[in-house]
Copies of this chain bind each other. A is one copy, B any other.
Amino acid sequence: MLESAPLRQDIVDAQNRIKKHINRTPVLRSSTLDSIYGTSLFFKCENFQKAGAFKSRGAVNLVFLLTGQQAKNGVCTHSSGNHAQALARAAKLRGIPSYIVMPSDAPQVKVDAVMEYGGEIVFCEPNLQARETTLEIIQEQSGAFEVHPYDNYDIIAAQATAVKELIEDMDEQADIVLCPVGGGGLLSGTALGIKYFSPGTRLIACEPKGADDAFKSFSKGEIVPSLEPNTIADGLLTSLGQRNFPIIMDNVESVVTVGEESIIKSMRIIYERMKIVVEPSSAVPFAAILEEKVDVANKKVGIIISGGNVDLGKLPF
C-alpha cells in the first residue's frame, strides 16, 4: 500500500486494478445548457457508478490491495454515506465480511443499501465521538482492517481515475475542471489526475457556504476543522484529511463557495436538463457556474458529478 502521495503510475495501477469491478461512467453533455451558459460542459457521471457514487473506486482499490492476512477478518469503517455502501460492496466482491458503524439516525434507504451489499451494521449514537469509539471496539473485536473513506493514499489514487477517464473521453483538453470538496478524497485524487494527465487544466474546488472548511483551510494554509456544518449537500460535511490537504494546497487553483438556494436550483436544472438523478453534493459545482463564481464563457469545462444517492421522498423541489 502507498505510503506517500500517489505518482502517475500509481493511478494507472489503480485504474487497472479496479476496472473490472466498477463502471466506466459516461460523460454527458447538454446542448441547451451549453447554449444558455455560453460554454461547453462535460459531466462525468459518477452517479452511474456502482453503488451510486465515486466512492466505489477507492473502496474497491483498497479492498483488493489487502494481503490475505490483512483481509482475513474483513474490513470496517464508520460512515452514514456512500463510503458505507461502497465498502460493503467491495468486501462482498472479495468475499470478506464488512462491519459498518452507522449513526442511529441514518436514513433507512442508506441502511438498506448497506445490508443489501451484505454489510454488517453496528448502530451508534449520532455523533463523531460515538462513531469513532464504536468503530474502535468493533475493530478490536473483529480484527477487521479499518478503511478510512478519504485520508488514505490508495483511496486517493483510485478517486483520481474518475478525472482520468473524463480527460480520456473529452475531445479536447479541458480548460477547467470543477470538483466538489468534502473530506478531500475526490478533490485530491482529481488534483493528481489533472497534474499527471492534463497539466494546464485549471482545477477549481466547489463547496457549500454552509460547510466552508475547505475554503477556510485553503486560505489559511492549514486544516480548519468542519464545525457544525449546515448544508443540504450531505456528502460534503466532513473536515479535510491530513493526506488530502497538502495535495489540494499544491494543485488546486481556488476554492469557491455557493449558497443553498443555488445548490437546490442547480440540482433541479441537472434533473430537468440532463435527465439524471444526482444527490445535492453533485450539484455544488454547477451552482458555482450559476452564481458566476467561475467564468466559464467559451471554455471547455469538466464537471465531476460525484453521486446519485438521494432520498427521492425528500427532494428539495
Binding site for B on A (CB under 8 A): 26, 28, 31-32, 47-48, 50, 52, 116, 268, 271-272, 274-278, 308, 312-313, 315, 317
Contact = CB atoms under 8 A, between A and B. Distances in A.
Contacts of A47: 275
Nearest to A313: B317
A193 B48 CA distance: 29
A76 to B, nearest CB: 24
Contact of A312 (B28, B50, B315): B315
A306 to B, nearest CB: 12
Given A312-B315, A315-B312, A317-B313, A275 B275 contact: no
Contacts of A116: 32
A271 B275 contact: no
Contacts of A28: 48
Nearest to A35: B116
Contacts of A313: 317
Nearest to A307: B275
A122 to B, nearest CB: 24
Integer count of this chain's copies in the complex = 2
24 contacts: A26-B26, A28-B48, A31-B50, A32-B116, A47-B275, A48-B275, A52-B275, A268-B312, A271-B277, A271-B312, A272-B277, A272-B312, A274-B277, A275-B276, A275-B277, A275-B278, A275-B308, A276-B276, A276-B277, A277-B277, A312-B315, A312-B317, A313-B317, A315-B315
Nearest to A308: B275
A269 B163 CA distance: 29
Contacts of A52: 275
Contacts of A48: 28, 275
A124 B148 CA distance: 61
Ranked nearest first, the 8 interchain pairs of A and B with the lowest CB-CB distance are: A275-B308, A275-B277, A47-B275, A271-B277, A271-B312, A48-B275, A312-B317, A276-B276
A81 B223 CA distance: 52
A273 to B, nearest CB: 9
A278 B272 CA distance: 10
A10 B74 CA distance: 59
